[in-house]
Amino acid sequence: MLSRNFESQAAIFAGGCFWCMEEAFERLPGVIEAIAGYTGGWVEDPTYELVSAGETGHREAVKVIYDPARISYERLLEVFWRNIDPTDPYGQFADRGEQYRTAIFYLDEGQRGLAEESKRRLELSGIFEGPIATEILPAREFYPAEDYHQGYYLSFPEHYKRYKTYSGRLGFIMAVWEKNRHFRLFPERERYWLGYRKPNDAELRELLTPLQYAVTQLGATEPPFQNEHWDSKDEGIYVDVVSGEPLFSSIDKFDSGTGWPSFTKPLEEWAIVEAEECEGFLCGREVRSRFAGSHLGHVFEESTPTGKRYCINSASLRFIPRDELRRYGYIAYEGLFK
């Protein structure tokens, strides 16, 4: 796997019981950790007993530490709204009181603007009949909760599952979002592949052609000079045929004479995962997409500007032309071609 340096960022959300919100965020690719805690009140170093009694002004909340190169703040907002009842001003599900009220605590003006925009778009969507009661507030001191609350869904999975079910949260989420599963708050900006969940094998077989399935899921290699993109010179980007995650740019594509699409580097340093050393005729390292885990091809050491040649199967790629990047949600890459 490629290593890289990055600066993590933080976001704070109050969504009722912090056990549930911790799980919702911590399972996302790009989230480093979600810390259960308390914020918004006036008591220093509060305890669970004081907060749950409603005597501190604090709310149960989670502090999400994330890698902005892998997951956006917009995506975190999307997940937040999809895991709460935003119309409830008095708590969340079975938990009542100010300490369980929902809020987005912004850490800077950028987060404030996006939070307010997400709330406005949710109101206009018509998904909820009542007004949106979730508050958007400036962040205050965040106090981590006691150790036994951290990772509760992992430490006490059976109790956690019963709580999430019988509190009414799980049923509410399923009822609201199953019929609205295609709704996106930021369709023009959200990099939806960052929260990608891979379909099961039956769904993949239905989604992909036999060749695409053989290449991406079984590691097959398509014939040279008899594939879709090997000699294409059109401007645009190449994305994973399964997940849509961006992989390569036409700017870095070149004719290697091998009969397969070849690139000097991936679009993003983190976009490609290198697997174990391969054997046989292909002596390079296998490369896969990060989120879908699709087999793409191999990378070889060669005399290119980067010292590498990424030899990729066309069947693992979908091409997005330059003039359709915005339409398909790849607005971040428009600047490559200006």
**CA angle 104–107–112, rounded 5-degree value:** 60
CA 40 from centre of chain: 27
Q: Which position has the token pair 């003006």?
A: 109
Report DSSP letters for 282-329, one per residue: --SEEEEETTT--EEEEEEE-SSTTSEEEEE-GGGEEEEEGGGTTTTT
* DSSP category for residue 148: G
Place of tokens 């907002």: 77
Question: Which amino acid is it at 279?
Answer: E
Amino acid letter for position 16? G
H or E, element range at 10: strand 9-14
Bridge partners of 297, per DSSP, are: 287, 312
CA distance 81 to 173: 10
User: Cα(38)–Cα(63) distance, rounded to whole angstroms?
Assistant: 9
How many alpha carbons lie under 13 Å from residue 132 in its C-beta half-sphere?
22
DSSP per residue, 51-105: HHTT-SS-EEEEEEEE-TTTS-HHHHHHHHHTTS-TT-SSEETTEESGGG--EEE
Q: Where are the alpha helices (DSSP H) in the chain?
A: 18-26, 48-52, 73-81, 109-125, 152-155, 157-166, 169-177, 201-207, 210-218
Phi and psi torsions of 240, nearest 5°: -65, 130
Q: Active-site residue 17, yes or no? A: yes
Catalytic residue, candidates 17, 20, 278, 283: 17
- Residues involved in catalysis: 17
